[in-house]
Amino acid sequence: MDMANISSWVLKPDVCRCCLSGSGTWDLTAAYITDAGTKEVFANILQHCFGVSLSYINEVDASRLVCDLCVNQLRGASSFHDQVVRADKSFSQYWTVKKDKDLNIRENVDDAYVKESIRDNLYD
């Protein structure tokens, strides 16, 4: 990207920090309350979902805005991230319980086999 192209959008006060369009309307660092009553800070969601911390976000002259399209994509990504985390937790819990049950069954079978072997050896 050449400097002329960069200067055409970088100095715009409403440049979206996620796609560089000139239509940023949401402050990345502000806390918003969703319709569900939860707090969302878009900069935190970027960090949580993707490990991305936007550079110069706290500079006085730098845009801290994000556009509606990117907000919708970010919310979708955050929702998907949370879904995957919940699904993995449920999956892990299932397999932990299953492994414990399988281990108990094996121990019971092994105990029964040992008892039967001892009984058989006693009567031989």
pLDDT at 83: 96
pLDDT at 1: 54
Q: Residue 12 and residue 60: Cα distance in Å, rounded?
A: 13
Please report how many Cα atoms fall inside a 13 Å half-sphere around the Cα of residue 69, on the Cβ side. 9
Residue bearing the bigger pLDDT, 43 or 99: 43
Beta bridge partners of 87: none
For 30-96, give the DSSP string.
S-EE-TTS-EE-HHHHHHHHH----TTTT-SSS--EE-HHHHHHHHHHHHHHHHHHHHHHHHHHHHH
User: Does residue 66 contact residue 20 with C-beta atoms inside 8 Å?
Assistant: no
Helix (H) or strand (E) holding 19: none
**CA angle, residues 19, 26, 82, in degrees to nearest 5:** 80
- Residues of each annotated binding site for Zn(2+): 16, 19, 67, 70
Alpha carbon of residue 99 to chain centroid: 27
- Residues of each annotated binding site: 16, 19, 67, 70
pLDDT at 30: 96
Q: Domains for the chain: give ranges and CATH numbers.
A: 3-93 (3.40.1800.20)
Task: Confirm whether pTM is higher than 0.75.
Answer: no
Helix (H) or strand (E) holding 26: strand 26-27
60-92 residue pLDDT tens: 778 899 999 999 999 999 999 999 999 999 999
pLDDT at position 56 over 60: yes
pLDDT at 114: 56
2-49 residue pLDDT tens: 666 666 666 778 899 999 888 899 999 999 999 999 999 999 999 999
pLDDT at 60: 75
Find the farthest-apart pair of alpha carbons in the chain and give their distance in angstroms, rounded: 97
